[in-house]
Amino acid sequence: MDDAVLREVIAPNQSKIVLMVLDGLGGLPHPETRRTELETADIPHLDRLAAESACGLTIPVAPGVTPGSGPGHLALFGYDPVRYNIGRGALEAVGIEFPLEPSDVAARGNFCTVDESGVITDRRAGRIPTERCVELCTLLREIDLPGAVALIEPVREHRFVLVLRGEGLSDDLAPLGTDPQHEGLRPVPVEARSAEAEPTARLFNEWIVKANALIKDKYPANAVLVRGFAKYPDLPSMQSRFGLNPAAIAIYPMYRGLAKLAGMQILTTGGTFEDEIATLREHWHEFDFFFVHYKKTDAAGEDGDFQRKVHALQEFDAHLPKVLDLKPDVLMIAGDHSTPAVMAAHSWHPVPFLLHAKLTRADQTDAFNEPSCQKGGLGTFPAREALQLALAHAGRFTKYGA
Amino acid sequence: MDDAVLREVIAPNQSKIVLMVLDGLGGLPHPETRRTELETADIPHLDRLAAESACGLTIPVAPGVTPGSGPGHLALFGYDPVRYNIGRGALEAVGIEFPLEPSDVAARGNFCTVDESGVITDRRAGRIPTERCVELCTLLREIDLPGAVALIEPVREHRFVLVLRGEGLSDDLAPLGTDPQHEGLRPVPVEARSAEAEPTARLFNEWIVKANALIKDKYPANAVLVRGFAKYPDLPSMQSRFGLNPAAIAIYPMYRGLAKLAGMQILTTGGTFEDEIATLREHWHEFDFFFVHYKKTDAAGEDGDFQRKVHALQEFDAHLPKVLDLKPDVLMIAGDHSTPAVMAAHSWHPVPFLLHAKLTRADQTDAFNEPSCQKGGLGTFPAREALQLALAHAGRFTKYGA
């Protein structure tokens, strides 16, 4: 929605909105049964809710475009994911809750394996254990640079975050960085896309030379690849845009980081979905918007495990009554993108969506799945419009124009 | 889709995409049977394909807008037809494969009939035979202009192309040109829309005075009307935008011209649809995108001949298995616009569309016609999004954002 329209209609009240995101929710039919994960799962609470709700399918970014987690979530938080395109380095830093400062430039790092001639033989260094990554990062912290500080944090397996902190740094660097994207090639130097960014490119290149020298005997993690240079993205908060007092409940750091970018308060929670629901109930009176993230659907989809995704959906469904008991004014059940088990990857297919509120117009859906939502009253619509529908149903929009 | 998103996600591969355009595909119900041309036709192959495909309806330009062939096709080639609006003169020049130079200004010309007082009595001069048009154009080539050359090419019947070639010409001229659009009125002078275009307007007006003097005794073609002034449109090619190596198979010059604008290689073919399919099969290994144009549906629709349009659909259907045999990774069956026989004209009605590929999400369509496609999983969507859906299904898009 046009920002000018939004500013004119926003009218906060005391209503409560819950956005439940089942990561990678959408699917494709199993080749044998011709039924999707949602059609296969026994999800009585979701089906009943669908019958009482307005349903539809969301397009995360644009028709045909497969989103990463960043754009997929930002759209559901009410941001245009193209206008607010977040660089990989910043997303990775945000994902480990690294306190990025506005002048920092963050990059995503990989440990990789190179042969004696410097050619990459494994871009992920055989996915070394996280403990090994921690050790290597400690070693890399020794590196000194002229006029800047290099901060290194391990992420998981072969992945780390590299942050340059100093004066006048620029993130106008070629985003693929030193990673040639294919094995059998040599790393390339970091390249500035403008004269202004040249000193920053030199600093990154100097750091890389020193890092490779330090770990050259640490096979299989005997070199680094660095890419996705980005400063901290400056998003207007959900408070200022939508007049909400929002909180996030998520187990994985990446989703907490994304929620924080949008200005959400991050609530401490345990390691299970049951813990997340308990956290929601505990903080129910403190906030008016809750984002609850459910990861298992995506993880199973990415692994190509159809049955595990079906079970993940059923587990979600079993816990749903505890959310309904809270009687939110608006409840959205959504996905950041599809992750069909038959593809074992994120996909572009529109994602089932449901909005439950007092004033939704009934449609003819009586089940929560892809073909049913395709016939839903909300139609197939951009995911970034979901929050404005929620705000409307929560009575948080006044009339536009006289 | 935003060009920045496109640049980020494009990832060419070896897949093959076929776009078959049935010109004027969409229709309206026959007043007696209440069935459209597609519903009336016996098209078993299209119906079976629809059952295995994602179906929908395309909106060529905007809801309610009836497109000409130019915008209708450019949208299907993945271009926003409003942003890339091609002037009629350039389209006509492109349609006869006239080698327009970047500084040329092209216009569409009509021979018309005027009475002794200069009032138009027939805007098309009784559709004189093409041979007569050729003779008259030869005569008009005698005209000299100060500081510019006027190039004239016959098109068909009363239509010709006029191209001014010279320094500093502008196409910022009132697009209706000298044509008052109705009989019983006099031609009007060419009008500049900016000071910069005034010399060009004067040149066109001088040419028109001289042309009318030359043919004043050639009743019924005793005057000219000139309109649609336009320079050669500078479209980014499908190669650069989409990473495709595209080819076009079309019998009529207009469609070959449009395909060439988008950077397609134009393949030589015969005069029948059977020839076109043979050409497709012959060049199958040389290109990764094929546009195949089928004209008969539109011609019958324009003539208001419902039964002939039904037969044209059946003829297309009969040849379809030879395309399916090639096993394209993505096959689109589309139309550039509707041409309902009951209107005997192009119309604004959304156009049946089908996309067949491995990873399409099944929908509940089991026939290829207007009411069936309206229930399809792709919904009613802008035609310019069709190609990005095809690219996604062909695996030619990477993930957007992390």
CA distances from A356 to A56, A157, A331, A332, A390 (A): 12, 40, 5, 6, 9
pLDDT at B33: 97
Which chain B residues touch A72 with a CB distance below 8 Å? 401
Q: Which of A40, A342, A51, A378 is nearest to B361 (CA)?
A: A342
Residue of A nearest to B389 (CA): A64
Per DSSP, the residues of B51-76 read HTSEEEEEESSSTTPPP-HHHHHHHH
Distance from CA of B68 to the nearest CA of A (A): 25
Find out whether B308 and B300 touch, Cβ atoms under 8 Å: yes
pLDDT digits 0-9 by tens, A15-32: 999 999 999 999 999 999
pLDDT digits 0-9 by tens, A200-220: 999 999 999 999 999 999 999
pLDDT digits 0-9 by tens, B207-241: 999 999 999 999 999 999 999 999 998 899 999 99
Per DSSP, the residues of B134-180 read HHHHHHHTT--BTTEEEEEEEEETTEEEEEEEETT----B-TTTT--
Which chain A residues touch B399 with a CB distance below 8 Å? 66-68, 346
Position B1 pLDDT exceeds 90: no
Average pLDDT value for chain B: 95
Position A362 pLDDT exceeds 80: no
Mean pLDDT of B278-286: 98
Beta A265-266 vs A148-156: how paired, if at all?
Answer: unpaired
Contact flag A68-B399 (C-beta cutoff 8 Å): yes
Return the SS3 of B220. coil
Position B95 pLDDT exceeds 90: no
pLDDT at A156: 86
Contact flag A92-B402 (C-beta cutoff 8 Å): yes
Q: Which of B31, B107, B2 is nearest to B341 (CA)?
A: B31
- Beta carbons within 8 Å of A97's beta carbon, 6+ residues apart: A253, A256, A257, A260
Distance from CA of B38 to the nearest CA of A (A): 23
CA distances from A89 to A141, A160, B11, B23, B302 (A): 18, 10, 22, 48, 57
Distance from CA of B389 to the nearest CA of A (A): 5
The H-or-E segment that residue A215 falls in is helix A198-215
Contact flag A70-B398 (C-beta cutoff 8 Å): no
ipTM: 0.87
What is the band of A95 on the pLDDT scale with cuts at 50, 70, 90? confident
pLDDT digits 0-9 by tens, A208-251: 999 999 999 999 999 999 999 999 988 999 999 999 999 999 99
Find out whether A29 and A326 touch, Cβ atoms under 8 Å: no
B9, B379, B393: residue with CB nearest A379: B379
Distance from CA of A69 to the nearest CA of B (A): 6
Cα A322 vs. chain centroid, distance in angstroms?
Answer: 25
pLDDT digits 0-9 by tens, B391-401: 999 999 999 98
pLDDT at A314: 98
Which chain B residues touch A235 with a CB distance below 8 Å? none
pLDDT digits 0-9 by tens, B292-340: 999 999 999 999 999 999 999 999 999 999 999 999 999 999 999 999 9
What is the band of B362 on the pLDDT scale with cuts at 50, 70, 90? confident
pLDDT at A135: 97
The CB density around residue A83, as the number of other CB atoms within 10 Å, is 10
Contact flag A62-B398 (C-beta cutoff 8 Å): no
Q: What is the pTM of this model?
A: 0.88
The CB density around residue B1, as the number of other CB atoms within 10 Å, is 21
pLDDT at B65: 97
Residue A204 dihedral angles phi and psi, to the nearest 5°: -60, -45
Contact flag B359-A347 (C-beta cutoff 8 Å): yes
User: What is the sign, positive or negative, of the torsion defined by CA atoms of B360, B366, B370, B375?
Assistant: negative
Q: Which of A333, A90, A132 is nearest to A234 (CA)?
A: A90
Position A402 pLDDT exceeds 90: no
Which chain A residues touch B397 with a CB distance below 8 Å? 64-66, 348
pLDDT at A363: 87
User: What is the sign, positive or negative, of the torsion defined by CA atoms of A117, A121, A122, A123?
Assistant: positive
